Amino acid sequence: MNNDKKTTFQDYIRWLIAQYQVLQQQTQQNAFRIVEHETSRDGQLRLVVQVIGKSVTFKATPHELAADDQLLERFSRQDVRTITYYACNELKKPKARIIFQEFREKINKMIFRIHKRDSVNAIEKTAAEISLDKTLLNEMGPEDAHLVGYTTASEQLLSEKEQLQQFNKDQN
């Protein structure tokens, strides 16, 4: 009976050592961890990554991390899942969005200032110009695209009304 207890205890110790070695390997493989996420002024999501065992951090977008296979292998499975989740969510976001709109009396039209994710500078266009630019329109979210369509239709209706009034005035 004593011999059985020794064998069981030895088996347990061997199992414990094996588990410790697996844990050590995983710790060595996982050189990085995500400690925080933040959104920059331009709406870009950045993950704050810490080097494990050091107080060194760096910031990167989920796409930058997901695109680098060697770097990605150095994260835990949970962090890889987090990176993938954020990268997929970023793909769903519109590439362009309206950040400002104003009516300009001089041209009697609404002007939209649009920010594209891949650009530092904003562009300004009228609703009609945006409506003609199918690529830009497709890069916008549904709410912004609806606003552009509604504004284009309203401006077109006002223009036709003014033309009809002018035509009637010229007929008299």
pLDDT of 84-99, one tens digit each? 999 988 888 888 999 9
Residue 145 has pLDDT above 90, yes or no: yes
Distance (Å, rounded) from C-alpha 122 to C-alpha 155?
23
Please give the mean pLDDT across all residues of the chain: 87
Contact 109, 103 (CB under 8 A): yes
Q: pLDDT band for 1, please (50, 70, 90 cuts).
A: very low
pLDDT (0 to 100) of residue 54: 84
Sheet holding 32-39, edge to edge: 32-39, 45-51, 57-60
Residue 5 has pLDDT above 90, yes or no: no
Which of 6-20, 66-80, 117-131, 133-147 is least confident? 6-20
pLDDT (0 to 100) of residue 82: 93
pTM above 0.75?
no
**How would you classify residue 50: left for phi > 0, otherwise alpha for psi between -120 and 50, otherwise beta?**
beta
The domains of the chain are located at 2-92, 96-171
